[in-house]
Amino acid sequence: MPIDTTALLRPRDRDALRTELRKIAATGIVPVVFGGEVLERTLHLHEFVGNLTNGLRGLAVRESSGLGGRVVERKNPIVVNDYRLDHTITHHYDGPVLAEGIRSVLAVPVVVQGRSRAVMYAAVRDRSPLGDRLADVMTRAGRRLAGEIAIRDEVDRRVQLLDAATAEHTAHPGADAEEIRDVHAELRSIAQTVHDPELQERLRALSGRLAAVASPAAATTPAPPAVTLSPREVDVLSHAALGCTNADIAERLSVKPETVKSYLRSAMSKLDAHSRREAVVSARRLGLLP
């Protein structure tokens, strides 16, 4: 039975964008913060903090048009000290921008794999320099968001590999077992780098479903007494199953080797195993590992 990935859809990137915009607004440096995602080379503005009108909401900014479109095209931050008089940008969107009273504005792109994926703006309603502090806050927010989106992209890629591997495994039981185990372990590793709790939980749930699909014996034989391993214990065992040393596991999970040993001892104790190999075999029998 194939994994139902529709129940584990990628969280909306706009939610992560909204979180970063709220962090910028919380600094109190500027009164207006807004932004949007770039879809098919067009920037769609949909997130706002501190706006007085709705003129900019839902605006579609074409690449190279206006300030946002130029940022999308150049993939670099741009600051405009007086929007009304600036000659470096087109003025296709003057109506809603000036109605909002925006004068000085900084626009920062969120660039992933050489492509603009979103743009964040910070603005004031008078002609005044925005300063280095705001530039630093915006730049760091852009990097955080770019990192989050990059992780989500990698998850999507892994899910596609997972779908292919599980389909092959279902058609030919035992086929590509090592590939399935490798994808399972990488999903567990990626989960440790994610700051979004919802996405982290979905990654772990997805790896759990993979383990269940790849371990049909767990569903067809009487279940032994229930054993509950912590997420970290499963993380460590999933890499041990690939033959990784404690040092390898520590590097992959960004923890200390001593921490790996501690999780291994705990997992072995719960599984009544005397070696990591026995622990892996027991975990597979229980459907905790593929």
Based on the fold, state whether residues 93 and 20 are members of the same structural domain: yes
Residue where a domain stops, chosen among 138, 163, 192: 138
Based on the fold, state whether residues 184 and 113 are members of the same structural domain: no
Based on the fold, state whether residues 12 and 130 are members of the same structural domain: yes
Based on the fold, state whether residues 70 and 126 are members of the same structural domain: yes
pLDDT in tens, 245-281: 999 899 888 889 999 999 999 999 999 999 888 998 8
Based on the fold, state whether residues 100 and 19 are members of the same structural domain: yes
pLDDT recorded at residue 166: 58
Based on the fold, state whether residues 133 and 44 are members of the same structural domain: yes
CATH of the domain at 266: 1.10.10.10
pLDDT in tens, 148-203: 898 888 777 766 766 665 566 555 555 467 777 877 787 788 877 777 777 777 77
Quickly tell me which residue has 């077992």 as its tokens: 177
Based on the fold, state whether residues 127 and 204 are members of the same structural domain: no
Based on the fold, state whether residues 100 and 190 are members of the same structural domain: no
Give dist(CA 280, CA 42) in Å, integer: 49
- Total structural domains within the chain: 2
Structural domain of residue 79, as residue ranges?
7-138
Based on the fold, state whether residues 51 and 127 are members of the same structural domain: yes
Based on the fold, state whether residues 134 and 177 are members of the same structural domain: no
CATH of the domain at 85: 3.30.450.40
Give dist(CA 148, CA 154) in Å, integer: 10
Listed range (8-17, 34-43, 81-90, 256-265) with the worst mean pLDDT: 8-17
3-state secondary structure labels for all residues of the chain:
CCCCHHHHCCCCHHHHHHHHHHHHHHCCCCCEEEEEEEECCEEEEEEEECCCCCCCCCCEEECCCHHHHHHHHHCCCEEECCHHHCCCCCCCCHHHHHHCCCCEEEEEEEEECCEEEEEEEEEECCCCCCHHHHHHHHHHHHHHHHHHHHHHHHHHHHHHHHHHHHHHHHHCCCCCHHHHHHHHHHHHHHHHHCCCHHHHHHHHHHHHHHHHHHCCHHHHCCCCCCCCCCHHHHHHHHHHCCCCCHHHHHHHHCCCHHHHHHHHHHHHHHCCCCCHHHHHHHHHHCCCCC
pLDDT in tens, 200-236: 777 777 777 777 766 655 444 445 546 889 989 999 9
Domain membership flag for residue 50: yes
Give dist(CA 270, CA 226) in Å, integer: 10
Domain membership flag for residue 68: yes
Based on the fold, state whether residues 134 and 11 are members of the same structural domain: yes
Give dist(CA 18, CA 230) in Å, integer: 31
Based on the fold, state whether residues 189 and 97 are members of the same structural domain: no
- What is the pLDDT of the chain when averaged over all its residues? 85
